[in-house]
Structure 1
Amino acid sequence: MHPEFEKYLKENTGLTEGAIHHISSKAFDKTLRRNELLLQAGDICRHKVFIAKGLLRTYSIDAKGNEHILQFTPEHSWTLDVESYDKEIPAETNIGATEPTEVLLWTKDDFNRLLSEVPELTKLSQQVISRNIYYSKQRILTTLSGTPEEKYDDFIQCFPNLLSRLPLRMIASYLGISIKTLTRIRHNQLQR
């Protein structure tokens, strides 16, 4: 059993030790090096992913080779390419490690079986989905209507512990602004 996953379940559910062990027993560990892909665009997403340690990013690369980061997923979070996983179609996004990362993976069949066997896991899954929908809505609204400064402030509020873990180019990509604009915003904030 992975201690970080056990800690996460104990903090977020009322699961028994036996249930936690049962859920953990269906997962397998994978360690990713910095910049290693967990999922490559064009492949089918076949696993639910829990990040035990480290940081993943979900991103796409446009025709000009520019990276567009959709999401950062730090430790004690879940991720996957939802459409690829649900429909069993090729993913349009990549999921890669921004630093050395340890993940737990469950196959779709195993996770679905766990959902039917462990009602508390179903409840946790629904809470995670609801939080992700709320977060996505807020991110879209900020992206569409926020100034670059508001986007950066929102990022700081949502991910204060990621600032020191990410290169500026990734933060700028996530915010949809240039590095030059991000540098200006950070400089102006230091002047205040």
Structure 2
Amino acid sequence: MEKFIEYVLQFGNLNQQQIDLIKSKATELELRKDDYYWEAGKTVKQIGFLTDGVIRVFYYNNKGEEITRYFIDENHLILSGNTLDEVFTPSEYLSAITSCKLIVFSKQDWKEISDTIIGWDTILQKIIAKYHSEKMARRSELVSQDGTTRYLDFIKKFPTLVNRVPLSYIASYLGVTQSSLSRIRKNIG
């Protein structure tokens, strides 16, 4: 819980009463490796903050192949939909690659925090803006780079993931085959 509070305080100020309210609404969730945080087609009813572990965001293409779109590591907020009132049914899966710990809030409790704490929405906007700029920076170059450059870039942008994520997922994320990734790793090793 402290990790979440520390994270939020980077984006704005909260007094002790506000922090206590947030803590009172939070619950801890543990996922085992391969557990789903959410599944395509199933309504998402909670907001999460990953305190420990790695989650993979993936979908199935029209050939039925799993495509890794993104990785979520520690200290990231996992929001659902654009607004709290919106019923969010994702088209992607979020699955634990490692054992994970999250702080979660029901949408109702999250809304109550938002309605009670003046400035909460501003804090959230700053978090979302940071998250989107990180996401864009991590994804944007993938299109124009060759496989080796993409892999080196992946190591630079996700330094803590390279030894925690199976190669098959990294290959999928980079848009290369697993055998190509093995060759790339051997050549730069």
- Per the alignment, do residues 82 and 176 of structure 1 end up closer, same or farther by CA in structure 2, a change over 3 Å counting? farther
Aligned residues: 189
Helix, strand or coil for the counterpart of 1:78? strand
CA contact (8 A) 1:46 1:85 kept: no
* Pairing 1:32–2:64 present: no
The one-letter amino acid paired with 1:183 is S
CA contact (8 A) 1:45 1:85 kept: no
The gaps in structure 1 that reach 5 residues or longer are: none
Q: Spell out the pairing of 1:95-110 with structure 2 (5 A cutoff).
A: 95-110=94-109
Partner of 2:47: 48
How far apart in 2 are the matches of 1:143 and 1:123? 31
How far apart in 2 are the matches of 1:92 and 1:131? 23
Partner of 1:158: 157
The one-letter amino acid paired with 2:35 is E
How far apart in 1 are the matches of 2:53 and 2:161? 11
- Per the alignment, do residues 133 and 8 of structure 1 end up closer, same or farther by CA in structure 2, a change over 3 Å counting? closer
CA contact (8 A) 1:44 1:85 kept: no
The one-letter amino acid paired with 2:91 is E
How far apart in 1 are the matches of 2:57 and 2:85? 17
How far apart in 2 are the matches of 1:85 and 1:122? 11
The one-letter amino acid paired with 2:108 is D
Q: Spell out the pairing of 1:117-128 with structure 2 (5 A cutoff).
A: 117-128=116-127
Q: Which has the higher helix share?
A: 1
Helix, strand or coil for the counterpart of 1:82? coil
- Greater mean alpha carbon deviation, residues 112-121 or residues 64-73: 112-121
- Per the alignment, do residues 176 and 82 of structure 1 end up closer, same or farther by CA in structure 2, a change over 3 Å counting? farther
Partner of 1:177: 176
How far apart in 2 are the matches of 1:117 and 1:131? 24
- Per the alignment, do residues 70 and 164 of structure 1 end up closer, same or farther by CA in structure 2, a change over 3 Å counting? same
CA contact (8 A) 2:80 2:88 kept: no
* Pairing 1:130–2:113 present: no
- Greater mean alpha carbon deviation, residues 134-143 or residues 64-73: 134-143
CA contact (8 A) 1:46 1:108 kept: yes
- Give the structure-1-normalised TM-score: 0.86
- Give the structure-2-normalised TM-score: 0.87
Partner of 2:71: 72
Question: How far did 1:37 drift?
Answer: 0.6
* Pairing 1:142–2:146 present: no
Question: How far did 1:172 drift?
Answer: 0.8
CA contact (8 A) 1:62 1:68 kept: yes
How far apart in 2 are the matches of 1:64 and 1:19? 49
- Greater mean alpha carbon deviation, residues 5-14 or residues 123-132: 5-14
The one-letter amino acid paired with 2:185 is R
How far apart in 2 are the matches of 1:85 and 1:132? 18
CA contact (8 A) 2:81 2:88 kept: no
RMSD (CA atoms): 2.2
The gaps in structure 2 that reach 5 residues or longer are: none
Question: How far did 1:189 drift?
Answer: 1.2
CA contact (8 A) 2:59 2:66 kept: yes
Partner of 2:167: 168
* Overall identity of the aligned pairs, in %: 26
